[in-house]
Amino acid sequence: MNNQDTGTIIAINGFVLEIEFNGGILPELRYALEYETYQGKYQAEVVELSGVSTVKAVAVGEVSGLSRGDKVRNLNRTIEVPVGQAVLGRMLNVFGDPIDGKPAVQADTKKSIYQNPPKFEDISTEKSVLETGIKVIDLLCPILKGGKVGLFGGAGVGKSVFMKELIYNVGEAGNYSVFAGVGERTREGAALYNELQQDGLLDKTVIMLGQMNESPGVRMRNALSALTVAEHFRDTEKKDILFFVDNVFRFIQAGSEVAALTGKIPITGGYQSTLLQEVGAFQERIASTKNGSITSIQAVFLPADDIDDPSAAAVFSHLDSTITLSRKIASMGIYPAVDPLVSSSRALTPEYLGERHFNLANDVKRILQQYSELQEIINVLGMEELSDEDKNTVYRARRMRNFLSQNFTVSQQYTGRSGDYVKLEDLLDSVEMILSGDVDHIDESKFLYIATVNDIL
């Protein structure tokens, strides 16, 4: 070991290490430093040059067992992960080491987790709509291939299940999927791995897990590791990639923890002052080029169900589609609990969808909005006070609300009902029948969890 590259830990503050390099050259920002505890070898990442001969580094791994006076080694590079075909079908940690009980990944190439976003001239502006087979998404908030989708919702409204269904439905089309579990529960990671294996989708998927019980350094950097794997498939292997992040809030939260430990002054809501820059640097790398596309679906936890939280606001500006899950709709037993009036998509235009789809989507939003407004009158005065036209609107809106529920393949083991993939043409035909009044004679409860109206007829 070169003495110039060796430092000594002089202070430990939570997961932030202060390291002195006497007489040596200080490592650069973002450089990886290797240290060892009784649990094994880990890396820390330089986040601040704090003095003439000292740096502050955030531990990307465990710190129990570390003490002042322990040595660290400057690796003279940033954190790297293995990329390429060798990582497909694997569950890995932030460094690309296996956590699935299988041997180490034998990859020819390793890449830094810090890559530059694509150059302006390389970015592809061609966009097409990605069919998901999920009714409420394909009808009201279509996903653009190569676009960014935000899945917003509080705790327990179904974000993770929704994301797994998207992996299942869209992954079947032969796309590669990269799943970044940021602050995931270990059992959820294991469940996803087993489900993908059973459904035969694991061979085209990489799962990178930074668990909830791990250090903020791991949770901060895990999303970047997974994104590096996805970028390699796009740029080198010229593939279309589905990039799932569950959950962006935990990525932001980890940055906030590190900022607090390094003594940075927080902004509104207690978040780090570098919030917009950190989210922006991550989101700018998720792009489509002339080689291939990265379509990202990002779950965003809403603290206290607050859509105006600064963490949600920081992500909003980067998205093409926002899908908001509502606790009120979930409490009615309607899943997926998407709120159609709050969700939106940039693809909801005649150019992307065609006139028929565009008009039907707007008609659905209109009657759901009218129903929402009439709800207050119904609550106070009852249905009897409404005109016949308003009554028809209410009944059709309720049928439509129930019709947008759907059986998911990934929740089959809990519901006992097999999942439905609904083709767009069948979906539009059903919506047309409900809006035109052709099925006004059928009880609204019959519209729950059917694939198309023909299932009742």
Residue owning tokens 């250090």: 215
Across the beta sheet with 294-301, what order do the strands follow?
A: 91-92, 205-211, 176-184, 241-246, 294-301, 148-153, 321-324, 344-345
Which of 184, 231, 257, 444 is catalytic? The answer is 184
CA distance linking residue 86 with residue 294, whole number of Å = 19
Query: Is 184 among the residues known to form the active site?
Result: yes
Query: Which of the residues 30, 110, 127, 185 is marked catalytic?
Result: 185
Cis peptide before 336 (omega within 30 of 0): yes
Largest Cα–Cα distance in the chain? 86
Three-class HEC string of the chain? CCHHHEEEEEEEECCEEEEECCCCCCCCCCCEEEEEECCEEEEEEEEECCCCCEEEEEEECCCCCCCCCCEEEECCCCCEEEECHHHCCCEECCCCCECCCCCCCCCCEEEECCCCCCCHHHECCCCCEECCCCHHHHHHCCEECCCEEEEEECCCCCHHHHHHHHHHHHHCCCCEEEEEEEEECHHHHHHHHHHHHHCCCHHHEEEEEEECCCCHHHHHHHHHHHHHHHHHHHHCCCCCEEEEEECHHHHHHHHHHHHHHCCCCCCHHHCCCCHHHHHHHHHHHCCCECCCCEEEEEEEECHHHCCCCHHHHHHHCCCCEEEEECHHHHHCCCCCCECCCCCEECCCCHHHHCHHHHHHHHHHHHHHHHHHHHHHHHHHHCHHHCCHHHHHHHHHHHHHHHHCCCCCHHHHHHHCCCCCCCCHHHHHHHHHHHHHCCCCCCCHHHHCCCCCHHHCC
Catalytic residue among 159, 219, 396, 399: 159
CA dist 212 to 39, 80, 182, 250, Å?
18, 22, 8, 9
Catalytic site positions = 159, 184-185
